Amino acid sequence: MSEAATNPYRTSLRSAADWGLVAVALPALVALVLPLGSLNGAPVGWLGGTMAPLFLIGVVLAVIAGRSAPKRVWGAWAELAGVALAWLLPFHLLKEGLDLSAGWGLWLFLVAATLLLWRVMGVLAGVPGGIRSVVVPGLFGLGLLVGWEVLVRGFQVPAILLPPPSRIAAALAANAPVLWDDFRQTVLTSVLRGYVMGCGAGFLVAILADRVPFLARGLLPLGNLASAIPVVGIAPIMVMWFGFDWQSKAAVIVVMTFFPMLINTLAGLGNSERIQLDLMRSYAAGYGRTLVKLRLPNALPFLFNGLKINSTLALIGAIVAEFFGTPVVGMGFRISTEVARMNLDIVWATIAVAALTGSGLYGALALLERATTAWHPSMRRR
Amino acid sequence: MTFPNPQDVREATAARQGSGPAISPAASPVVVEARKLSLVYPTADKPVTALSEVDLTIARGDFVSLIGPSGCGKTTLLRVIADLERPTSGHIAIEGMTPEQARLKRLYGYVFQAPALYPWRTVERNVMLPLEIMGLPKAERRQRAREQLERVGLSGFERKFPWQLSGGMQQRVSIARALALQPDLLLMDEPFGALDEITRDHLNLHLTQLWRATGKTCVFVTHSIAEAVFLSTRIVVMSPRPGRILDVIDCDSLPRERTLDIRESPEFAAIAHRVREGLKEGHSYDD
């Protein structure tokens, strides 16, 4: 296309043909002669009595519509509909009772659909605004979930090894009250308190160490030492010291988060340029004013770095610490007991809650960082 | 960009400060006085003498340029005046005070080589920074910031961030920030060193008009002969290793009011020649 744009008088097969589409069509054509699956041991083809031909016609129409659309973006949406229809086919076949594990025609067809999705995403990623920043990552995640669901069900992976997302979602819904109690105990009680205490203490000690240089010299090697301590070693000791409830989890989190915050804050406070410090000195600004007006704003990117690292560390710390003793509630407790009872659905549901919580915390911090350090070269948009 | 008429600005400034025009070299008391000033840096191999037995007197209303090659101690001298460095021996007084007292009384405004604007503050809030530290009420801070930004021709850029401006505009903001303190003494350390020559000419013209309008005492560090001659009433020629003063040249043959045309005059050429000879003499010690 770009070649045609630079030299409008010259057309070759290379520039005239849509080679991307050819790459999609080839596996799809081969797929047509292979079976879709088997029913009671007998292979079933495309014309084996299912509604597969209807899906095929739908996809072909969508691709033709996409090719002939007046705008590339509209075409992408049409092709996206084709992709969705193609990926719905295995669900229809599973409903008809087919065994898909030998259905190479179907899998090849889905490979072609995925290639088509690649094309669509390429176009959509070039559209500025909400489509690029929300729709594209959203489609990507949705695609992964659908692929996971279809592969696990199609190849009949035992649920004990890997349940399909739908089963995890069902477990989430069925055990919502229990999971909510776990979330409240682990996240709202232990993690938030431990995080605030650990980060707050790290920040305050960093300010103190900035004022008293020997503290920094003494504490930084200790920080390296502390970051090498394994959680599984410190957690049982903290449970012995502070008991089964949230206090021991908060203590583990404080140990894990204190030094990353201290080191990042110290690095941030050292980040002001000589000339900026001279400027404050020429205004006869004292230590406190220089700290508030210059050094802390300059340290913000470092502070957020520490806070973001700690947000994930805190969640891991709390969950692992709960393995070593807890009142009979909490995400770590849930995982350890339900694994022992082979109740893997709930374990996966808890993992999902933990993953969502972790990314939620991280995302919130990232948004806050963007709001407060929009001036920083890494965030600037003119 | 439009410049305010210097006469108007001077009168406005005089009215605001409640005093007559400050330009009166005849009755000039001394602003900066240095006697046998030396500064030695300890370094790993051997001590470096940045300033050696410097004697200098700067009168009120003067525009003094310190010129010399890199490492001649001109920036160090300026930093000693500003109490950003401590001399190892000798005597220096600013308005009869020690540099530290002068700094704590915020008697001078300092313009650095780089604009040193804070990227998280808008242009206006950058200019208001020293006023916040002085503890002025908000309304007065804003009013002074607006005045100084107008004076350097940056009205309408108050809400921009520094990184949205060109290098020359950023340096003008930093001059406005120094002026907002309303100091009698303005210390400038190669403020236009990083700018292209066209912008530099423009800002030099602007600076000399500003100086005439406000009647401030200026100490200006540069390594450009043309810039020094164009701006100064006196030029201090310095030489490196050890940093010392070779010559002090009076520019009385040039009018106090400068336009870019004076650079073509024979008087200008004569002074520039003397500066160049002085610098040459200093360099012969290097070889």
SS3 state at B96 = coil
Neighbour count for residue B116 (Cβ, 10 Å): 22
Check CB contact under 8 Å for A375 and B119.
yes
Mean residue pLDDT across chain B: 80
Instruction: Give which of B75, B76, B112, B126 to mutate to test A binding, by max A Cβ within 10 Å.
Output: B112
- Number of A to B CB contacts under 8 A, please give it: 52
List of long-range contacts for B270-273, beta carbons under 8 Å, 24+ apart: B271/B229, B271/B235, B272/B225, B272/B226, B272/B229
Taking each helix axis from N to C end, the angle separating A213-227 and A192-211, rounded to the nearest 10 degrees, works out to 140
Contacting B residues, span 76-115, partner chain A, CB-CB under 8 Å: 82-84, 103-106, 108-110, 112-114
Neighbour count for residue B96 (Cβ, 10 Å): 11
B210: alpha, beta or left? (left if phi > 0; alpha if psi -120 to 50): alpha
- Burial of B61 from C-beta contacts in 10 A (0-12 / 13-18 / 19+): buried
pLDDT of res. A7: 62
pLDDT of res. B24: 41
Beta strands in chain A (DSSP E): 37-39, 42-44
Candidate from A275, A285, A376 with C-beta closest to B116: A275
pLDDT greater than 90 at residue B230: no
Please give the helix or strand (H or E) that residue B81 lies within, else none. helix B74-81
Instruction: Summarize pLDDT for B136-174 with one digit per residue, the tens.
Output: 888 888 888 888 888 778 888 888 888 888 888 898 898
A380 neighbourhood in chain B, CB within 8 Å:
163
pLDDT band with cut points at 50, 70 and 90 for residue B181: confident
Domain ranges for chain B, please list them: 6-107+184-284, 120-182
Instruction: Summarize pLDDT for A45-98 with one digit per residue, the tens.
Output: 888 777 888 888 999 999 888 888 888 888 889 999 999 999 999 999 888 888
For residue B204, which amino acid is it? N
Report the C-alpha gap between A281 and A291 in whole angstroms: 12
Do residues B54 and B77 lie in contact, with contact meaning Cβ atoms separated by under 8 Å?
yes
Which residues have C-beta within 8 Å of that of residue B134, sequence separation ≥ 6?
A283, B106, B181
Question: Six-digit token pair at B182?
Answer: 């309303």
Chain A nearest C-alpha distance from B255 (Å): 33
pLDDT greater than 60 at residue B192: yes
pLDDT greater than 70 at residue B2: no
Question: Six-digit token pair at A348?
Answer: 């996966």
Check CB contact under 8 Å for B116 and A297.
no
Percent of chain B with pLDDT over 90: 4
Chain A nearest C-alpha distance from B135 (Å): 11
Report the C-alpha gap between A102 and B259 in whole angstroms: 90
Taking each helix axis from N to C end, the angle separating A19-31 and A104-124, rounded to the nearest 10 degrees, works out to 160
This prediction has a pTM of 0.78
Instruction: Give which of A274, A277, A281, A283 to mutate to test B binding, by max B Cβ within 10 Å.
Output: A283
Q: Which residue of B has its CA nearest to A374?
A: B120
Candidate from A273, A283, A297 with C-beta closest to B133: A283
Reported CATH class of domain B6-107+184-284: alpha beta
Domains of chain A: 2-157 (no CATH), 171-372 (1.10.3720.10)
pLDDT tens over chain A, length 382 residues:
444 456 666 656 565 667 778 888 888 888 888 888 888 888 888 887 778 888 889 999 998 888 888 888 888 899 999 999 999 999 998 888 888 888 888 999 999 999 999 888 888 888 887 777 888 889 999 999 999 999 999 998 888 889 999 999 999 999 999 999 999 989 998 999 999 999 999 999 999 998 888 888 888 888 888 778 888 888 888 988 998 888 899 999 999 999 899 999 999 998 888 889 999 988 888 888 899 889 999 999 999 999 999 999 999 999 998 888 878 888 999 999 998 888 888 999 999 999 999 999 999 999 999 888 878 877 765 4
What ipTM does the predicted assembly reach? 0.81
Distances, alpha carbon B283 to alpha carbons A130, B41, B65, B78, B237, in Å: 64, 22, 19, 22, 12
pLDDT greater than 90 at residue B245: no
Q: In which order are the strands placed within the sheet that holds B234-239? A: B108-111, B185-189, B217-222, B63-67, B234-239, B244-250
**In this predicted model, which residue has the larger pLDDT, A313 or B258?**
A313
Mean pLDDT over residues B58-71, rounded?
A: 86
Q: Which residue of A has its CA nearest to B187?
A: A282
pLDDT of res. A308: 93
Taking each helix axis from N to C end, the angle separating A231-242 and A246-269, rounded to the nearest 10 degrees, works out to 120
Q: Which residue of B has its CA nearest to A284?
A: B104
- Would you give the end-to-end CA distance of chain A in angstroms? 31
Triad A121, A122, A126: Cα angle to 5°: 105
Name the residue with tokens 């100086």.
B211
pLDDT of res. A14: 60
Check CB contact under 8 Å for A275 and B133.
no
Triad A164, A165, A166: Cα angle to 5°: 90
pLDDT greater than 50 at residue B267: yes
Triad B246, B252, B253: Cα angle to 5°: 105
